[in-house]
Amino acid sequence: MLSVSAQTLVAATVLVLLIACLLWLVFAFGLKLQPRASKGMAGANVLVASALLLSGLRGGLERPWLTVYAADLTGTAAFALLSLVPAWLEESRPPWRWPLALCLLALLLMPGFVMGWPMRWHGTVLYCLQAPLLGLASWQAYRLVRSRTRPAFALALSFPLGALTLLLAARAVEPLLWPGNTPDLRSGSGFNVAWLWAGLVLGMVVNSVVAFLVLVQLVLRIRKLTLYDPLTEVLNRRAIGQALEQAHARWRRGEPYALVLLDMDHFKALNDTLGHGAGDQALKALVGALKPCVRDDDALGRWGGEEFLILLCDTGLAGAALVAERMRANLEAQPLLWGPEQRRLTASFGIAEVLPEDSSPEAVLMRADQGLYQAKRQGRNLVQSRE
């Protein structure tokens, strides 16, 4: 039988994991929050709980080796599933190969202990297979958070998974430190009790951290819907307008800026002849030609229809002319392929820089619009300014 302290800790951990599983199912099916990641977390929690129950029950069964084998595979599958969750959160392709390879290795190696391998090495082999899976989950979580925030915050959020990895590694080296001891969750040793306490706490923390990441992804998605144009994935009119207001406020403190306003040429004719699907593809191609010319501090937004506005920070009229000309050349060099049709894409550009007499960004925008109108009148596919 389990000692009282170990039995209590295993029961508490199983209860916490099952409650977490129910909450993740609510996330997946009730709230529709990151369904794949939520289902993965629900599965991982229930598999870990099952592995703990199987490990605790095996002492009272006639054929404990069956339970040992089932617990080994269930626990390994749980950590393999957990290693895929960060990729599902990021909505990218999960790293299937390593988790699958380690699960297959567990499937092949664990029966050896049933057939007579020394049981003192059972825990070492098992946890050496499971620890890399948690290490992979920790690394994937770090990469996910690091792509959106500072390294210190990413380390803090991935730390619980890293700590769980170290916990499994400690279990793996226990037989090396204490050769006469066989790692067993039924043991009432101080090491085992401390290990179970750490597992209970870290299990709660890991679930909390992943839930936090799910909510962060939800907030980022809502932010994207409110700030970005859904077709071209550049700033919408409201967001680029706010960026322009902020740039004008910085100009009052001595930071210049310039604007590039462009309009795709003959866009209505393209829509009328090839259809709106081709028009949408043309707008995406236009954005693809513009983005390489836009720096991190600049802002690119859809001003309306086929009009786009680029805010160039710390740039004067000459710099804006160079950027606009690169954009014009990039677009002209990328014809639109639509079925058997091939269409040359061009745009007209108006540029303007902020001047001392400009009391508002609208004045700068008006001059850029006048330059755009002049480019249209002069034959299109040109860059013009109006000062």
| C-alpha span between 293 and 231 (Å, rounded) | 20
Of 117, 113, 111, 167, residue with least CA distance to 138: 167
Token pair belonging to 158: 């991935």
What would you measure as the largest C-alpha separation in the chain, in angstroms?
Answer: 92
Spell out the residues 6+ positions from residue 201 whose beta carbon is closer than 8 angstroms to its own.
none
| C-alpha span between 127 and 173 (Å, rounded) | 9
Of 235, 257, 255, 270, residue with least CA distance to 344: 270
Token pair belonging to 165: 């990895």
From residue 210, alpha-carbon distances to 30, 44, 226 in Å are 18, 12, 24
For residue 62, indicate whether it is catalytic. Answer: no
The four Cα atoms 213, 214, 218, 224 give a dihedral, to 10 degrees, of 50
Q: How many CB atoms lie within 10 A of CB 188?
A: 13
Q: Which residue out of 62, 90, 233, 306 is catalytically annotated? A: 306
| C-alpha span between 100 and 109 (Å, rounded) | 14
Point out the residues that are catalytic: 306
